[in-house]
Amino acid sequence: MSIIYNENSRSFKLVAGNSCYILAVVSENYLAHVYYGTALPDDDLTYLLRLDTYPFTPEVNNRDRGVFMDNLPFEYPCYNIGDYREHALSIIDKTGSAACDLRYKSHKIYDGKPAPEGLPATFVNSPDEAQTLEIVMEDKSAGLEVTLIYTAFEKLNAITRSAVVKNVGGENVKLTRVLSAVVEFDTDELDMITLNGSWARERFVERHPIRRGKQLIDSLRGESSHQNNPFTALCEHKTDEDSGKAWGFNFVYSGNFVSEAEVDQHRQTRYLMGINGTDFEWHLAPGEVFTAPEVVMVYSDSGLGQMSRTFHDLYRRHLIRGEYRDKRRPILINNWEATYFDFTAEKLVKIAEQAAALGIEMLVMDDGWFGKRNSDNCSLGDWFVNEDKLAGGLKALVDKVNALGMKFGLWFEPEMISPNSELFRAHPDWAIQTKGRALTLCREQCVLDYSRKEVRDYVYGMIKNILDNANIEYIKWDMNRQLTEVASAALPPERQRELWHRYVLGVYDLMNRLTTDYPHILLENCSGGGARFDPGMLYYSPQIWCSDDTDAIERLKIQAGTSMCYPCSAMGAHVSDCPNHITGRTVPFETRGHVAMVGTFGYELDVTRIPQADRDAIPGQIEEFKKYNHLVRTGDHYRIGNVFEDAEWDAWAFVAKDKSEALFEFVQAVSRPNRRSRRIKMKGLDAGAYYYEESSPDVKLSGAALMECGVIIPNISGDYRSRLMHFIRV
C-alpha cells in the first residue's frame, strides 16, 4: 500500500517510490506536518512534533495557546488564529471576520487518482499506479469544509497536492487566499532554486541560501510568465547534480501564482505554493465549491539530476496526453523568421517544395494569414483567411502542400483582440478593460475576456470553421501579452477580482474543446516564446515553444534551465537562420542542429535562401534526429556541464532506460588558446557493462571507466562548435 493510517498515533504515511510523507492529527484535531524525505520503515514519527515540551498542547497549557499556534508545523495553516507565519487559507465570513480555524473531520484512502473538474492535473493510466488520501477539514463557525487531496505515485518519488473548499453553511463566504500546498522543514539550512528571466532568456537557473524572513517568486501577469516559472526546489547546501537532498515543487497552473519560503524565529522553514493571493477573491454561495490547482512535489536524495528525471518521467507518463504523447513529432519548417508578414501562397509553396525535397515533413504558416494582417497592429480576432495573400483560400494552399507529401500547420492567437479589428468594432466590451480607463496596449493588442462563455464560443466557432475546411494537422497557439486593467463587463463589482482565475479557466475550457474535437491535431503552446511553459499547458499540448530566442548558444541556458523540471521532448526547438534574428550571432549549422535536437526539432528559416552548404546538410540532420529522438523522448536526461557556472562549454546525455545506449552531446561555446583536449565524465551508464562509441567500434570501455575517467573531446578550433557521440553497450 502507498498510504497507511496509524490509528494509535492518528498519523498518515504516504509512500511514493523511495520517498515518504507523514502528517498527523494532533491536539484538538489540528493537522500537523511531520516528515517529508527518504522512505523510512516507521509509521509513527509524531515524536518529531515535540508536543511533550513547551509550549505543550492547549489541553496541558491553554494559557499559551498562542505560542502553540505559532510553533506547530501546520499542514494547511489558516489566517488570524495565532499562527503569524504565511498561511494557505484566508476568508471573510458572514460577520466580516478574517479568522479561519480548520480542524480534522474525516478521511478516506482509495486506489487511483481523481480528476479535478475544469483544471489540468496529473493522472493515472490504471488505479494501481497510485493511491489517494482525502482529508476533510472543517471550520464549523464559518461553515466551511476543506478537502485536502494527496496522491502518492507507486513507482515514482512524486506526490501531488490540492485542496477543495466547500461552503456547507447557510451564508456566503468570501475566499481571499486559497493555496494548494504547504510543507514544513525543521531547518533553515537550505538553498532555494528558481527559474527566472525575461523574454528571450527564460528559465535561467538561480540559486541562493534562504534567509530569515520571506523569499518568493510570483506572477501577477495573468500567465505563469517569462520572468518567474512556477517551479521551485529547496535543497541542502551541498546538493549538486548527483548527490544530496532536493525537494521540487511545480504548480499545474497557467496564471498568477506564488512560490514562497519563510524562515521563522525558530529557524524553521515553511514553504507554500498556489494561486497568488494579490487581487484574488472568490465568492462561495452555500453549496458551492472552489478547487485549487494541483502542486506536484518530487523528492530526491540523489541530487538535482534525479529530481529532474522524476519530473520528466511523471510528466511524460502522467500529464502529457493525446496521440503524440509517445510519438516522434513531425519535423516542421515555420515561415515566421523566413518571411514574417511578407508572404503569399506562391512563396509558401516554393518554401514547401524545397523543404519536402530535403525531408522536412510539415509546413507551418505563422502570423499574418488572416483578416487584414500585414503587420502586428491589427486583425487579431478576425479569424478568417486573407485571400489577398492566399489566393484561392486556405484549402487550396493546404492541398498543394499535402500533395508534396507534407503536413500543414497553422498559427493562432485566440486569446487576443486588436482594437483595429472587425471583432473589436462589433464587441468592444469583449476586451478585458476597466470602465473609464484607457486601454493599456501591448504589441497594439488587448486580451479577450475568456471568463465569458459567449466570447469563447464565438472565437471557437471561427477556429472550428477554419479547421473544418482544410486539413490542418498542427496548431501553434500563441499569447503575446499580459493582462492589465483586469475587469469584466459581465461580472458584478463584488466578483471582479475573480476574473484572473476565471480567465485561466476559460483558456483551459477552450483548449479542452479543441483537443477533444480534434484529437489528431498536434497542439504546441506558445506565449511570446516561453511565458507559459508550465505543466498546466503541458496537459493540453505535448510541446511548448521554449523561447523566441533560437540562438543555439543562448538556448544552452534556456534549455538547461527548462530541463530542471520539464522533459526535453516537450521543448519546442528549431534550427534558425544566421546571423540570428535575436542576438545577431552566427553559429555553425551543425551546432544549431545538435542543440535543436534536444527538443522537438524543426526549422525556422527560408530554406530557399540559405547557403547551399547549410541546405545540403539538412537531410543528414533530419536522419540524425530520427535516429536519436527515441532517446530524447524516452531516455534519462543527464546534465553534465553547467553553463550557468562555466559558460565556455556545455554537455549532456540521454541514456536509454535499460542503459543499452546513450547519446552524448558537447558544445564548445568559447574557444581558448593553448588548451589541451577536454576529459568529460559520462553519467547514467551501466558501470559493469562495456560500451563502444559508434564511430570507433573496436574501442571498448567499461561504463565505470566512461563515468569515472571520462571521454576525450579533442581540441576544437573555433567558437560555437559541437560534437555528438553515440555509445552502444556491447
- Which sequence positions are flagged as catalytic? 478, 548
The C-alpha cell at 427 is 464587441
CA distance 379 to 341: 13
Q: How far apart are CA 572 and CA 334, in angstroms?
A: 12
- CA angle, residues 341, 344, 347, in degrees to nearest 5: 105
Give the sign of the dihedral formed by CA 357, CA 359, CA 361, CA 366. Answer: negative
Q: Which residues contact 227 (CB under 8 A, 6 or more apart)?
A: 196, 197, 198, 219, 221
Interatomic CA distance for residues 229 and 217, integer angstroms: 8
Is residue 90 within 8 A of residue 98, CB to CB? The reply is: yes
Task: Identify the residue whose cell numbers are 560500451.
Answer: 691
Q: How far is CA 142 from CA 25, 29, 329, in A?
A: 21, 17, 51
DSSP string, 444-477: TBEEB-TTSHHHHHHHHHHHHHHHHTS---EEEE
CA torsion sign, 621 to 626 to 632 to 638?
A: negative
Distance CA 124, CA 113 (A): 6
Query: CA-to-CA distance for 492 and 494, rounded, in angstroms?
Result: 6
- The single-letter code of the amino acid at 179 is L
Residues 37, 353: Cα–Cα separation, whole Å = 56
And the C-alpha cell for 676? 589541451
CA angle 638, 643, 647 (to 5 degrees): 150
Say if CB 116 and CB 108 are below 8 A apart.
no
CB 155 within 8 A of CB 191: no
Q: What is the DSSP string of 549-582?
A: ---HHHHHHHHHHHTTTS-GGGEE--EE-SS-TT
* Residue in the block written with cell 470553421: 465
Q: Which three cell numbers stand for residue 636?
A: 534519462
- The secondary structure of residue 676, as a DSSP letter, is P
CA dihedral over 710, 716, 720, 721, signed as positive or negative: negative
Closest CA relative to residue 664, chosen from 688, 690, 685, 646: 685
In single-letter form, the type of residue at position 512 comes to N
Distance from C-alpha of 92 to C-alpha of 332, rounded to nearest angstrom: 52
